Every structure is written in structure tokens, then in C-alpha cells.
Amino acid sequence: MTYQFPEAEPYRIKVVEPMKMTTRSQRERILKDAHYNIFNVRAEDVYVDLLTDSGTSAMSQDQWAGIMIGDESYAGCRNWFHLQETIQDITGHKYVVPTHQGRPAENILTMIHIRPGLSALSNMFFDSTHAHVETKGGIPRDCIIDEGLDGESDHPFKGNVEIDKLEEHIKRVGREQVALILVTVTCNNNGGQPVSMANLHAVRAVADKYGLPFFLDAARFAENAFFIKLREPGYADKSLKEIAREMFSYVDGCTMSSKKDGLVNIGGFLTLNDEAKFRQAQQYLILMEGFVTYGGMAGRDLEALARGLKEVLDESYMANRVRQVRYLGNQMLDAGVPVFKPIGGHCVLLDMKRFLPHIPQDEFPCEAFCAELYLDSGTRAIGLGQLAFGGVDNETGEVIYAPLEVVRMAIPRRVYTDNHMDVVARSVIRIYERRDSMRGVKITWQPEALRHFTAHLAPL
């Protein structure tokens, strides 16, 4: 049975945010002033901003109403109890630790579990989690299935963990040398690809066999639940809440960046089932974020999040969300543009190795494309390739190549209309048609670390 997607949004617009319209010649000047690096462009000079789906959602009238009943008491505000109950109800987990976004939750989780030399295993760690494992001396290891890295594979659950690889690693280093398993749902690094329920169940079995703690990075848990409903036998008639609850039942806790599936602009949390770890987490929270009943959030933020977590599990919302991401991706696929398949939950990935095969990786095809896209339509996307993940070996001077060269177009939740998606798709298709005339870019200045954020570039 094929899923009946809605034809249009299950909401109407009450408040509008005007956008600045720029001309191509204005954008040429803006881009030049930004040293051809799209991160240096002011957001108000961007038309459709697809840099990230994180913290960019539009809140509902119910969430804005919740903002007005924020209780800003230091300890024990009512909004905290509402949020705690909501999270316990969705996850079934016992203890909740509120944080100001996802990474402090990752910091606390890794402070509790990671010791120097210990491995941490995942399908794919998101960058910030990867860094939190490493800064505690741990060794992050990705165990994603091979199909997960193949942009042309149609596997329905390309976020799945390769169970043999996971177990083989535990056996090789020894159970005592593994700190934890953490699975990212959906898997952001390969374009929001889902993890199946069967796979989560299988990871749990491995965790139990070796007595290891197992957590979810739940930033996009609701989008993952929807893909399970669409694609995994036995789930078509279950509600997103029931599916999410089952996903969470296999783990000992989760980290959450509420800036994604929390439908809010800031916020996060950590859940745990183990009381001793929870007490430890609370101590770290007080030290780094704030008191145990607000963490890094204001009372009003807690309320908006409690309401957002309920809305994100509303199937009419979610079906339209996934419909819109596909609507953008399919227009490009139909025109022959090399898009990573299948289209994921929150973004469309363009494969620059196939889009601009004549531009070598060390001439940064992603950044050349992002600059061209901005000039063409004022759209902002992000390059995840050589500039972000490649570099030069300090000792040998040889170029280290990034495995993927992709541009990510992440779609904010409830923010843009399909007309905006049409603008973006047409712009990408126009650029694809004239791709042979495009040139790469070179670096004219770069910082020592994380160069993609601030590097200066120039067209070749």
C-alpha cells in the first residue's frame, strides 16, 4: 500500500517575515565582500536559506501562546514539569536533564562514559558528538552499512548499523575497551537516512550480549519514526508516537538537539534510565548549564519545547514535512541532477563529484557551486567536502581527500512554501545545464582549524 501524502500544508500562515530581494549584481558585490564564502554572507542578504534545518523552525500559535505562560522562577517552574512529563511520555525514560542545545547533552553523556583510549561506536557520529568523544580521549568509530555511503543505492534504511562490523569491533578491542554505543536517528551525515526498528533491536541485542550502554542521538527521532511507518513491515497502522516510544524502548537514554524535531529555535536534553548516572549528570549540569529544572533554557523555552515535541508527532505535520523535502529533491532528480538517493528526512544532498566532474576536489567544487547558487537565486546551501573535511598532511605535504564531495540543502521546518522550493530547484537545474562552463575556487586565506567556516576564497 502506498502512503497517501497530503497535497499541501496542514496549516495556514498568520505572521509573515518579509525577505529582502536582491539583484544579481547586488549579489555579485555581496559575494565578493564575503570572499566567496557563503558562511560570510549576512543572513538578511540570503533569499532561501538552506544552510541548516537546526534552530530555524517556525513555531505554531500554540507554541507562541506557551511562550506567554513561561514561568521564569529559578527552581521548579511549572513549564519544567510539563516538559519533563512530555519527554517521559514519549521516550519512556526515567530521568530528564535539560540543556540549551544538543552538544551540552553530548558533553555530559561523554563526560560520564568516556575515558582515554575507550572506543565509542555509532552508525555515524555527528561532528559535535565525534568531537566530544575525542576531547575526552575516546576513539569514535562509525559502523554504518556500506549502502549508507553509496549515493545511488535505494536501500530503505541507509542509516542502519552494520551489526557484524559493530560486534567485530567489540571483540577485537575487548568489551572493557568500549564505552558506549550511540546511534544517530535519522543519520545526518549521509543526508537524513533512517535507521530501521529491526536494526535498533539488533543493536540492543549486541549491547546486552556485551553489557554495553546504548543511546540514541535523537535530534530527528520523529522523522525517523515516520520512515519506519512508511517502509518497515508491521508499522503502517501505528502512530508516530507509538513508533517513537518503541525506538526509545531499546536504549538506555538519548541526547537531543531540540533545534530539529523539537520544533523550537533553541533547546536540548539528555535522558537516562540509570539513577547514579542521572545524579552525576545533574552535577555537571549545575556546573556548566544551570539548575536542574531549567538547564540552559528560559521557562518560556521549556514550554515551547514541550508543545513542539507533541506537534512533531502529529502525522499530518510530518507527512507534509517529508513531502516538501521530496518535492524539492524529485524536481532535481527528474531533470537528471545527481541527487543522493533516496531523499532523506531533512535535506537534499547533491553529489558534486558527478555534478562537476571536471573540477578536481582540491579546487573545491562544493564551494564553487554554493557561490554560483547564491549568485543565481540568492539561495544558500552548505558544502560538505574537501574544504570542510579534507586538508594537507603536515608531515608529507600531501593532500588528504575528503571521502564525499556533497552540497547539503537542509529545509527549515514550516518556514518556506513550495514556491520557494520551485525557485531553488529551477536555479539548481539552470546551473546544472551550464555546469561545463563552471570553474573551481582557490583558498586565499585560511585559519588553522575548521577552515570552511571562515576561509577566504577566490574564483579560479
Type of residue found at 148: G
Measured from the CB atom, the residue of 128 and 239 that comes closer to ligand F0G is 128
Q: Which residue is nearest to ligand F0G (CB)?
A: 102
Q: Is 127 a catalytic residue?
A: yes
Shortest Cβ 182–ligand F0G spacing (Å): 10
Catalytically annotated residue among 74, 89, 146, 201 = 74
Q: What is the DSSP letter of 341?
A: S
Residue 140 to residues 27, 108, 252, 254, 385, Cα–Cα distance (Å):
41, 16, 19, 17, 20
Type of residue found at 357: P
Shortest Cβ 376–ligand F0G spacing (Å): 23
Catalytically annotated residue among 120, 218, 219, 388 = 219
Q: Which of 220, 185, 412 shows the shortest CA–CA distance to 312?
A: 220
Shortest Cβ 396–ligand F0G spacing (Å): 32
Measured from the CB atom, the residue of 167 and 261 that comes closer to ligand F0G is 261
Shortest Cβ 11–ligand F0G spacing (Å): 24
Measured from the CB atom, the residue of 217 and 367 that comes closer to ligand F0G is 217
Q: Is 164 a catalytic residue?
A: no
Helix count and strand count (H, E) for the chain: 17, 14
Catalytically annotated residue among 45, 53, 142, 217 = 217
Report the distance separating Cα 158 and Cα 242, nearest Å.
22
Can you read off the three cell numbers belonging to residue 261? 524535531
Measured from the CB atom, the residue of 257 and 386 that comes closer to ligand F0G is 257
Shortest Cβ 220–ligand F0G spacing (Å): 7
Residue ranges in contact with ligand F0G by CB under 6 A: 52, 54, 101-103, 126, 128-129, 184, 188, 217, 219, 257, 259, 268
Place of cell 552540497: 407
Catalytically annotated residue among 126, 157, 215, 250 = 126
Q: Is 74 a catalytic residue?
A: yes
Q: Are 238 and 206 in contact (CB under 8 A)?
A: no
Peptide bond into 186 cis (omega under 30): yes
Q: Is 126 a catalytic residue?
A: yes
Report the distance separating Cα 126 and Cα 147, nearest Å.
18
Q: Is 260 a catalytic residue?
A: yes
End-to-end CA separation in angstroms for the chain: 51
Q: Is 130 a catalytic residue?
A: no
Measured from the CB atom, the residue of 339 and 347 that comes closer to ligand F0G is 347
Q: Is 219 a catalytic residue?
A: yes
Which residues are tagged catalytic? 74, 126-127, 217, 219, 260, 452
